[in-house]
Structure 1
Amino acid sequence: MTAEPTARQHPGLDLDVLTPWFVENVGAVSGQLNAELIAGGKSNLTYRLYDDQQRWILRRPPVGKLLATAHDMGREYTMMSALASTDVPVPVMYALGDAELLGAPFYVMEAVDGTPYRKASELAELGPERTRAISERLVDTLAVLHQVEPAQVGLGDFGHPEGFLARQVARWRKQFDAAHTRDLPAMERLHALLAEQVPPDAAPGIVHGDYRLDNVLVDDSDQPRAVLDWELSTIGDSLTDLALMSVYHRMGAAGGGVTDVAVAPGFLSDEEVVARYAAASGRDLTNFGFYVAYSCFKLAGIVEGIHYRFTNGQTVGDGFADVGATVEPLLQAGLAALKEN
């Protein structure tokens, strides 16, 4: 007879192995250390750790084969640790563990109270005024992040901003190749056009890499408490963050994508988001169509990686069966965005 699973049995998380390391590197445990998987994202695995008195968060990569440079726990840990001294809201980071313990690098951080709003229906319950305020603060927080000077928070050597956009276009093409399960002619066309139209380098700044409302915990007073999911963060052209927000916005308005918060009554329109960011940051938004097209390409690459893991039986949880269907629309949206320049 097969034993029923307990709070101590999870993919990629052996609590009997973790507990001694946890006590040594994070702190004492009251009673038994337990865990539960937090549903939501389809990339890294996020667990809520708890004992009789306290809560923490543990993040680790998905199980199975990983694409090169993806799911970088050290990157997330370093970035959030560095930002602790700034006005960017991030959780307290406690400890970084190496791959020998759980089979992949991981880290433990503060469990921050807040809501990662993903659905328009969740915002609709708050009303249009609160929804507008939340969307305004989302944009303002991004502008605050992009005003941080990397070198002043110890991130001067964190990335290689020279030739950032050209390298990113090449990188995501490699990710498509590494996650190949099918031919994607639109990907080939979009990649070729992006490689031909790369804008000049901008002043280097911090790039979150996947900035959207459900990667931000919002408290009961509608203030952002913590920006999460820094696995794609780097130093480079931070305008790519705004462009990716725009792509999420457009996808949600069209009835697709991972989040539809943009259609909630009161949420800033795509044009208002861009205008508010431009006013707060002073950035030149020339060639923004290229940035949107690149963001479509990048997001399609991320989704194709998830589709690859699903087709190879390497995903944990439900909701992966149809994810691959969003890749072609993203690629087509990228081709269309290049005409906006």
Structure 2
Amino acid sequence: MAEADNAQDMFSGTKEVAESHKFDEANLAAWMEANVEGYEGPLTVKQFKGGQSNPTYKLFTPSKTYVMRRKPPGKLLPSAHAVDREFKVINALYPTGFPVARPYGLCMDEDVIGTIFYIMDNVDGRILWDQTLPDYEPAQRRAIYEAKVKTFADLHNTDYKKVGLQDFGKEGDYCARQIHRWTKQYKASETMHIPEMEQLIDWLPKNLPKNEDVTIVHGDYRLDNMVLHPTDPKVIAVLDWELSTLGDPLADFSYHLMNWVMPGNDESRGSIANIKDLKAHGIPTLEEYVDMYCQHTGRDGMPDLNYYFSYNAFRLAGILQGIVGRVRDGTASNANAASNAERVVPLAKFAAERARMAGMEG
């Protein structure tokens, strides 16, 4: 309980702007004056505490509060921290009624504050950092999870062509492209021989699910990436669209489902997999949650779920090995190198176990 409270305190609310993330606030105020409908200063800037990879600021004016997301300053990978893509998807979804913050403007001129940025509405509500919801009653937990899966299904049910996102990503072969990408990353970053990874590198691309759908995918849909209504079990804004693209909705949904099947490595956020009796706790079981999603999306079931679990664990192993490799090469901070390295083998073993359940031999 104390750990959950610590996480809630650690990531909630705002702080003074970090020295490394400061910028010319007068320039921002002038840009907002010219580009944000209804803006009236003076402007006060704070920074959100939460661990976003894109620095996120709360902007206060006498009559309204806004949020700014920007690229971090400094040298970055070309495709990383694409706040312009975040703005594009929010801008497309907002008119449909899907719960996202109202977008106000995107600035591609790096001279204004040093990086590109966008401004959106500040949505007041609850951001819950511990997915086990320790401060709630079982019936409340159930209602929150029902709202969460319904909102996720609504995203996947959105016609991306109708909302103007047909050029938001490549159509089709999403899993194949991801497997190729993370295989390449894993090989370039390899620090030890892991037999399970070699098996998966061979088996996964040869056994792709048939008839892959294409929808908008969020990429990191989870409880602390959304704002809930202050009192009701209702999602009022989905946040952090940094990884969104066009892709396979079942890859997106099954990544979200990993919370049910893998013990959490970060205990401060809580882990559904560590709860002995989910029904008594109020959180839907994996089977119930999958059924809810299928009902909302008109599916008969998810026969390829073990494949997707294997794929997602393989992808995570590739991502973490990439971090380990960058530490080895001296291009990343050493802070969490040991813990990331320790997670790669268990993920590979889990991925291989699920692949065997999906038909892989050996």
TM over 0.5: yes
- Please say which structure displays the higher CA radius of gyration: 2
Could you say what secondary structure the match of 2:110 adopts? helix
Query: Aligned residue for 1:298?
Result: 315
Could you say what secondary structure the match of 2:46 adopts? strand
Distance in 1 (alpha carbons) for counterparts of 2:161 and 2:65:
33
Residue deviations 1:101-139 (CA, integer Å, cap 9, x gap): 344432221111122222156x22121100001011111
The answer to whether 1:326 aligns with 2:343 is yes
Contact map agreement 1:216 1:224 (CA 8 A) in 2: yes
In structure 2, relative to structure 1, the CA distance for the partners of 1:307 and 1:192 (3 Å cut) is same
The answer to whether 1:282 aligns with 2:292 is no
User: How far is the alpha carbon of 1:82 from its aligned partner?
Assistant: 0.7
TM-score for the superposition, normalised by structure 2: 0.79
In structure 2, relative to structure 1, the CA distance for the partners of 1:236 and 1:119 (3 Å cut) is same
Distance in 2 (alpha carbons) for counterparts of 1:267 and 1:172:
32
Q: 1:1-341 maps to which residues of 2 (within 5 A)?
A: 7=16, 10-16=19-25, 17-26=27-36, 28-41=39-52, 43-98=53-108, 100-101=110-111, 102-120=113-131, 123-176=133-186, 180=189, 182-183=191-192, 185=194, 186-219=196-229, 220-251=231-262, 254-257=263-266, 259-260=269-270, 262=272, 263=275, 265-283=281-299, 284-304=301-321, 320=336, 324=340, 325-341=342-358
User: How far is the alpha carbon of 1:40 from its aligned partner?
Assistant: 3.3
State which drifts further: 86-95 or 320-329.
Answer: 320-329
Contact map agreement 2:23 2:114 (CA 8 A) in 1: no
Distance in 2 (alpha carbons) for counterparts of 1:327 and 1:104:
34
Q: RMSD of the alignment, in Å?
A: 3.0
Residue deviations 1:40-99 (CA, integer Å, cap 9, x gap): 34x332222224443221223445553453322122111111111224211111122226
Contact map agreement 2:215 2:247 (CA 8 A) in 1: yes
Structure 2 residue identity aligned to 1:338: A
Distance in 2 (alpha carbons) for counterparts of 1:19 and 1:193:
54
Contact map agreement 1:64 1:314 (CA 8 A) in 2: no
Distance in 2 (alpha carbons) for counterparts of 1:278 and 1:33:
45
User: How far is the alpha carbon of 1:181 from its aligned partner?
Assistant: 7.7
State which drifts further: 169-178 or 107-116.
Answer: 169-178
TM-score for the superposition, normalised by structure 1: 0.83
Structure 2 residue identity aligned to 1:215: N
Work out the number of aligned pairs and report it: 329
Distance in 2 (alpha carbons) for counterparts of 1:224 and 1:257:
24
Could you say what secondary structure the match of 1:100 adopts? coil
**Aligned-residue identity in percent:** 34
User: How far is the alpha carbon of 1:320 from its aligned partner?
Assistant: 4.7
User: How far is the alpha carbon of 1:223 from its aligned partner?
Assistant: 0.7
In structure 2, relative to structure 1, the CA distance for the partners of 1:266 and 1:39 (3 Å cut) is same
Distance in 2 (alpha carbons) for counterparts of 1:66 and 1:177:
22
In structure 2, relative to structure 1, the CA distance for the partners of 1:330 and 1:82 (3 Å cut) is same
In structure 2, relative to structure 1, the CA distance for the partners of 1:244 and 1:143 (3 Å cut) is same
Query: Aligned residue for 1:3?
Result: none
Contact map agreement 1:218 1:224 (CA 8 A) in 2: yes
User: How far is the alpha carbon of 1:214 from its aligned partner?
Assistant: 1.3
Query: Aligned residue for 2:4?
Result: none
User: How far is the alpha carbon of 1:22 from its aligned partner?
Assistant: 3.0
Could you say what secondary structure the match of 2:241 adopts? coil
Distance in 1 (alpha carbons) for counterparts of 2:356 and 2:208:
14
Structure 1 residue identity aligned to 2:137: G
Residue deviations 1:209-249 (CA, integer Å, cap 9, x gap): 11111111111212101111111111121111211011123
Could you say what secondary structure the match of 2:169 adopts? coil
Could you say what secondary structure the match of 2:213 adopts? coil
Structure 2 residue identity aligned to 1:70: A
Could you say what secondary structure the match of 2:289 adopts? helix
Distance in 1 (alpha carbons) for counterparts of 2:98 and 2:245:
15
Gaps of 5+ in 2: 1-14
Could you say what secondary structure the match of 2:59 adopts? strand
In structure 2, relative to structure 1, the CA distance for the partners of 1:286 and 1:120 (3 Å cut) is closer
User: How far is the alpha carbon of 1:168 from its aligned partner?
Assistant: 1.6
